[in-house]
A and B are shown apart, each in its own frame.
Chain A
């Protein structure tokens, strides 16, 4: 996968850093850049094997949790923190059902370890609504019938929030492309596209 250049935005400096890290990991940037990124990341060592107590900041709440280092963020959310809104579909980063936001950026929570995500702000589908008031993307999904069974829906919604935030919801074709990392086996795709386009208008207003 290739990344478009990320525009510098003051609100998202950390996102930009993370994106550079991802690109660096893929071995597509110069070593000099890699060094500067490494310097920007806090160094954290975790003892191999045994459980460790960590603090995760999820939906604005700091939650202490004891996990082995091998526990994915997805399994920490679902099996330890009781946040089962985030779904496990494939556990391999292929379906997108486990998409959450980490510092505003969409990631597949099955492909990252919980211990790696300390000092970040994690947002799951449970954290989008403000009380009874749904997030515009959630409301648009209901309005446009952008789901059927609901199994992929939390991931679709988190992905859609980020897709709009990234500026990738400019046209139907663009939405189709940038929402293609989230499978919907019920295939509500055209309604998902309509919901994302509609929510994008509202979010930008």
Chain B
């Protein structure tokens, strides 16, 4: 260990990213590649009765047009990570607006796009149900999803609520939202006989390969599929599951007997790759007059589809964050004629927004400071896990100056703006998925790590390079990390904050194994200056191997491996367990009463992510997550037309996301103590999705503090404050 882990080193892939050299999925030059374009349904529910491709086929450059009449028959993969229960272009049924009904293949992109406009489709149409509000009386308890029940009971919440000295009972709602990574989803499919290579925008290459193998079970073996995704232009959950465009592109390339590249249009990304579902949440809190929670009843209703019934935005924080003996969570859903929802960055935010806003309401009911209320309900972690949330409250409050807050709403004005301070706890679950790594030390004394993990912007290349360099005792620039290729050892999908907790263990084990292997070779080699030294007495630093206490007696990785005559290749594994990360966020808002406009002017946040592996990339996750929280609270909102069930704002000028001028600079602090429960990952927990989970509530709470108006329906657009 050389102290590299934890240091905020610059990103090792920085040069590639700032020079345009980093090769994203759509950047691969494939000889003779054909271009795909999708034709989308313009109705939400019904059946195709007539489909005329003659004009499209006659259009210059068109190679083929695939429809349900001539598409390759595929097998619907059995379950998540293929979230849909159907594959388009396999039959005439229409399940939602913006469902592919034809796939055009042409020599150039422009030819494919033009021909796609020439396909004529007639439908038999049934009236769709588009809005949650229109179907609430049809709410039902969906079946378990991924082994998790949608109803959880602890104690007797109804009775405790009845007896409670203080109650808060409110409804909290949030709309449909879309991930909108800057890089559109893209697939380039290249068949070579019966083997298939996919250049894919994927958060999980291994799972993508599995899904494709399931869909193409009749045509190709899983081992003959290679999925390549060394860089990803943002995913945020949208590229976690595998979606139908990937399957259709692979099928089109097989039928067309040539490589095919498809890039979804921005508008298609509003119906093709999931979204955060619309939610209504009834929350009922019971408490003592001292502010101790005695009951939580959390009943949510989510938008589902007629073909899928998966709940993605779970009420985990209601169940796990605070000490409350009586909890009843029910996650209901209603079936609508919409595309399926899916995971979107920090999915637990939806539920957590309601809980943390309700707690603020409770703090006013019992006359307690919102921080103190949370401290009184703190739930320590069960051993061996650590939970330094109380430290987060203290650090964040101190840095923010929370002690100076006058709790009375609507009393602070600066110029023509009301000023409000609000806070919330931040927390999210992280996953841990079995992963493996391979490390090679070559005759130049350089290390190459291979692992089928992904770089989605969180800093995987950088942190894993640090872990390897640290474990080997080698300079950072002697280590190369290769990711995003199913040719490498299998590793976790980069979703659910799972990359670091899943992959750091195998990588650090591989580094230790490689170091031990090289030391063993050295001490057994009569030509080595280290010959005969007990292996335990050898230390590694800067690529050199020394005898402890006698630094003149030395060898090096390069010389040992060179004399050995062949590269040293080792593997590593290191299973870990899931858990939670924690934090506290404090925000200041400015509200202009005549315009109803809210501006977030200051954010301070303190976190307990276990051990911080790289302070620079950890801070990056904070500023990203907090900004997502601002977008969630103030602007993001997908609008669906009631009559057509069509998304009416599928563009970045109508679906607003935060821009540079919308965001304040965020101050972040870290407790930075290793969690014994995440020992394989060197004490680091999964963290990426924790920042931002509390921000919508903190903003709501700050708006209440500024104005005395309590907003429970995101986004908090200007009309709601006039």
B183 within 8 Å of A by Cβ? yes
Residues of A within 8 A of B21 (CB): 85, 126
B628 within 8 Å of A by Cβ? yes
Asked whether, in the complex, the Cβ of B27 is within 8 Å of the Cβ of A141, the reply is no
Interface 0/1 of A43-82, CB less than 8 Å to B? 0000000000000000000000000101100010011001
A134 within 8 Å of B by Cβ? yes
Q: Which of B17, B109, B182, B653 contacts A185 (CB 8 A)?
A: B182
Asked whether, in the complex, the Cβ of B19 is within 8 Å of the Cβ of A126, the reply is yes
B372 within 8 Å of A by Cβ? no
Q: How far is the CA of A191 from the CA of B18 in the complex (A)?
A: 14
Additional A-B contacts beyond A84-B26, A187-B663 (8; CB < 8 A): A89-B233, A92-B651, A142-B11, A143-B10, A147-B17, A149-B456, A187-B658, A190-B663
A104 within 8 Å of B by Cβ? no
B263 within 8 Å of A by Cβ? yes
Asked whether, in the complex, the Cβ of B665 is within 8 Å of the Cβ of A151, the reply is no
Asked whether, in the complex, the Cβ of B10 is within 8 Å of the Cβ of A151, the reply is no
Q: How far is the CA of A95 from the CA of B18 in the complex (A)?
A: 18
A115 within 8 Å of B by Cβ? no
A54 to chain B minimum Cβ distance, whole angstroms, is 15
Asked whether, in the complex, the Cβ of A145 is within 8 Å of the Cβ of B617, the reply is yes
Q: How far is the CA of A181 from the CA of B659 in the complex (A)?
A: 8
B73 within 8 Å of A by Cβ? no
Asked whether, in the complex, the Cβ of B660 is within 8 Å of the Cβ of A149, the reply is no
User: Which one of B46-54, B272-280, B499-507, B619-627 contacts A?
Assistant: B619-627
Asked whether, in the complex, the Cβ of A189 is within 8 Å of the Cβ of B663, the reply is yes
Residues of A within 8 A of B393 (CB): none
28 contacts between A and B (CB under 8 A): A75-B109, A79-B108, A84-B27, A90-B266, A91-B266, A95-B266, A97-B182, A134-B19, A142-B14, A145-B11, A147-B17, A148-B234, A149-B235, A150-B16, A150-B24, A151-B183, A152-B182, A152-B233, A175-B660, A177-B660, A183-B659, A184-B660, A185-B236, A187-B623, A188-B620, A188-B623, A189-B659, A191-B620
Q: A88-B184, A149-B457 are in contact. Are A186 and B234 (CB under 8 A)?
A: yes
Question: Number of contact residues on B: which range applies?
Answer: 35 or more
Asked whether, in the complex, the Cβ of B110 is within 8 Å of the Cβ of A151, the reply is no
Residues of B within 8 A of A82 (CB): 29
B652 within 8 Å of A by Cβ? yes
Residues of B within 8 A of A180 (CB): 659-662
Asked whether, in the complex, the Cβ of A145 is within 8 Å of the Cβ of B265, the reply is no
Q: A68-B110, A183-B182 are in contact. Are A153 and B623 (CB under 8 A)?
A: no
Q: Which of B231, B236, B619, B626 contacts A150 (CB 8 A)?
A: B231
Asked whether, in the complex, the Cβ of A147 is within 8 Å of the Cβ of B182, the reply is no
Residues of A within 8 A of B231 (CB): 149-150
Interface 0/1 of B1-41, CB less than 8 Å to A? 00000000011011111111111101101000000000000
Residues of A within 8 A of B29 (CB): 82, 84
B657 within 8 Å of A by Cβ? yes
Asked whether, in the complex, the Cβ of B182 is within 8 Å of the Cβ of A89, the reply is yes
Q: Which of B619, B623, B653 contacts A189 (CB 8 A)?
A: B623
B616 within 8 Å of A by Cβ? yes
Q: How far is the CA of A136 from the CA of B617 in the complex (A)?
A: 22
A164 within 8 Å of B by Cβ? no
Q: How far is the CA of A85 from the CA of B15 in the complex (A)?
A: 12
B605 within 8 Å of A by Cβ? no
Q: A183-B659, A186-B457, A188-B624 are in contact. Are A153 and B18 (CB under 8 A)?
A: yes
Residues of B within 8 A of A181 (CB): 659
Residues of B within 8 A of A124 (CB): 20
B621 to chain A minimum Cβ distance, whole angstroms, is 8
Q: How far is the CA of A186 from the CA of B236 in the complex (A)?
A: 9
B440 within 8 Å of A by Cβ? no
A15 to chain B minimum Cβ distance, whole angstroms, is 23
Residues of B within 8 A of A200 (CB): none
Interface SS, A side: loop
B180 within 8 Å of A by Cβ? yes
- Nearest A residue to B653 by beta-carbon distance? A94
Asked whether, in the complex, the Cβ of B661 is within 8 Å of the Cβ of A190, the reply is no
B452 to chain A minimum Cβ distance, whole angstroms, is 18
Q: How far is the CA of A153 from the CA of B623 in the complex (A)?
A: 16
Q: A126-B19, A176-B660 are in contact. Are A187 and B24 (CB under 8 A)?
A: no
- Nearest B residue to A155 by beta-carbon distance? B182
A129 within 8 Å of B by Cβ? yes
* Interfacial residues of chain B within 623-682, with CB under 8 A of chain A in the complex: 623-624, 626-628, 651-653, 657-666
Q: A87-B233, A90-B651, A189-B660 are in contact. Are A151 and B620 (CB under 8 A)?
A: no
Asked whether, in the complex, the Cβ of A94 is within 8 Å of the Cβ of B458, the reply is no
| 10 A-B pairs with least C-beta separation | A85-B20, A151-B233, A149-B457, A148-B457, A187-B627, A150-B17, A84-B27, A151-B182, A142-B14, A94-B652
Q: How far is the CA of A124 from the CA of B20 in the complex (A)?
A: 9
Q: How far is the CA of A138 from the CA of B180 in the complex (A)?
A: 25
A169 within 8 Å of B by Cβ? no
Q: How far is the CA of A85 from the CA of B665 in the complex (A)?
A: 28
Q: A125-B20, A148-B624, A150-B233 are in contact. Are A177 and B661 (CB under 8 A)?
A: yes
* Interfacial residues of chain B within 574-609, with CB under 8 A of chain A in the complex: none
Residues of A within 8 A of B109 (CB): 75, 79
* Interfacial residues of chain B within 229-246, with CB under 8 A of chain A in the complex: 231-236
Residues of A within 8 A of B489 (CB): none
B181 within 8 Å of A by Cβ? yes
A157 within 8 Å of B by Cβ? yes
Asked whether, in the complex, the Cβ of B19 is within 8 Å of the Cβ of A183, the reply is no
Asked whether, in the complex, the Cβ of B458 is within 8 Å of the Cβ of A148, the reply is yes
Q: How far is the CA of A94 from the CA of B656 in the complex (A)?
A: 10
Q: How far is the CA of A79 from the CA of B107 in the complex (A)?
A: 12
A101 within 8 Å of B by Cβ? no
Asked whether, in the complex, the Cβ of A179 is within 8 Å of the Cβ of B620, the reply is no
Q: How far is the CA of A183 from the CA of B23 in the complex (A)?
A: 20
Asked whether, in the complex, the Cβ of A70 is within 8 Å of the Cβ of B456, the reply is no
A122 within 8 Å of B by Cβ? no
A122 to chain B minimum Cβ distance, whole angstroms, is 14
* Interfacial residues of chain B within 455-469, with CB under 8 A of chain A in the complex: 455-459
Q: How far is the CA of A70 from the CA of B19 in the complex (A)?
A: 28
